[in-house]
Amino acid sequence: MSRLALILFGPPAAGKGTQARMVGAALRVPVISTGDILREAVRNETELGKEARRHMESGGLVPDELVDAIVKERLQRTDCAQGFILDGYPRTVHQAVFLESAFKDGDLKIRVVGISVADDVLIRRIAGRKSCPKCGKVFNFGDAARKDGAVCDECGTALVSRADDSAEVMVQRLKVYHRQTRPLVDYYQGRGWYVEVDGDRPADEVNQSILKAVQGQVGTMSAVAR
Ligand code: ADP
């Protein structure tokens, strides 16, 4: 039986990470976030982390070969046997082709949900974004006064801003998105695997739309949830 690879797609700060966690919990499948894996490597100062850091801090992409290898290794683990959610991968057409080639024919059913948010909204969101360094949960604070001393409501860890969330780096990440990642929409539309939801709404509403879209594409949800 083929397993479902659900790709959550969209520009930086579209809400992919938040939605991936919610959808992962609903479908009971693991979430593989390349951004989280790379940030952990950077924190641990591994060889991969040292190489990745240069690209991440400037707002560019980490080379395909590095990210492809990480994803391939991660998807071979047993927890991915029934399906998984990808957050932040693929980000280039090369990565999309790799993902398909890494699995035997028919072993992977790929579906892509794009979360659409206008650039000006993304830039405003980034200015107020903090995340938990321990469990990865992302928080958005519209009110700057609340940013200091905030802790994660799940595990109590002090929240931090990401090094690549500064205004200049964000502008670069958006450029990279439009140039290298956005073309994947055509790629996946051509395969008939792509649906889009409006991401400029409260997280719960976006989540309902995603679950509905997934249900429409893979039949009943219980077919993927175990
Ligand atoms: P966001 O969701 O805000 O776009 P991520 O946490 O997904 O950010 O990724 C942060 C950074 O990690 C990216 O800007 C990029 O440098 C690197 N990265 C993550 N995933 C990939 C990938 N699939 N290919 C290349 N670089 C990646």
Tell whether the model's pLDDT for residue 220 goes beyond 90: no
Q: Which residue out of 91, 117, 165, 174 has the highest number of ligand 1 atoms within 8 Å of its CB and is therefore the one to mutate?
A: 91
Q: What ranges do the domains of the chain cover?
A: 3-118+167-225
Residue nearest to atom 19 of ligand 1 (CA): 35
Atom of ligand 1 nearest to the CA of 91: 23
Residues 2-10: what's their mean pLDDT?
A: 92
Rounded to whole angstroms, the Cα distance separating 50 from 167 reads: 23
The pLDDT of residue 105 is 63
Q: Which residues are catalytic?
A: 16, 91, 129, 162, 173
Nearest-atom index, ligand 1, CA of 60: 16
Q: Which pLDDT value is given to residue 138?
A: 80
Residue nearest (by alpha carbon) to ligand 1 atom 15: 61
Q: What percent of the chain has pLDDT over 90?
A: 65
Residue 5 · residue 87 · CB < 8 Å: no
Residue 223 has a pLDDT of 43
* Atom number, ligand 1, closest to the C-alpha of residue 16: 2
Give the tens place of pLDDT for each residue, 147-189. 556 888 888 898 888 777 777 888 899 999 999 999 999 999 9
Q: Is the pLDDT of residue 69 over 80?
A: yes
In CATH, which superfamily holds the domain spanning 3-118+167-225? P-loop containing nucleotide triphosphate hydrolases (3.40.50.300)
User: Hey, whose CA ends up nearest to atom 10 of ligand 1?
Assistant: 35
102-118 tens-digit pLDDT? 877 667 899 999 999 99
Q: What is the pTM of this model?
A: 0.84
pLDDT band with cut points at 50, 70 and 90 for residue 31: very high
Q: Decide if pLDDT at 224 tops 90.
A: no
Question: Ligand 1 within 6 A of 111 CB?
Answer: no
Q: Are 62 and 55 in contact (CB under 8 A)?
A: yes
Mean pLDDT score of the chain, rounded to an integer?
A: 88
Which residue has the least CA distance to atom 4 on ligand 1?
12
Residue-level pLDDT at 149: 63
Q: For Cα atoms 203, 204, 207, give the angle at the middle one, nearest 5 degrees.
A: 85
Angle at which helices 47-58 and 167-176 pack, to 10 degrees?
100
The token pair at 201 is: 């709404």
Can you point out the beta strands (E) in 2-107?
3-9, 31-33, 83-87
Query: How remote is the CA of residue 56 from the centroid of ligand 1, in Å?
Result: 7
Tell me: pLDDT of 22 over 80. yes
Nearest to 24 by CA among 2, 1, 6, 3: 6
Angle between helices 34-43 and 64-75 (to 10 degrees): 100
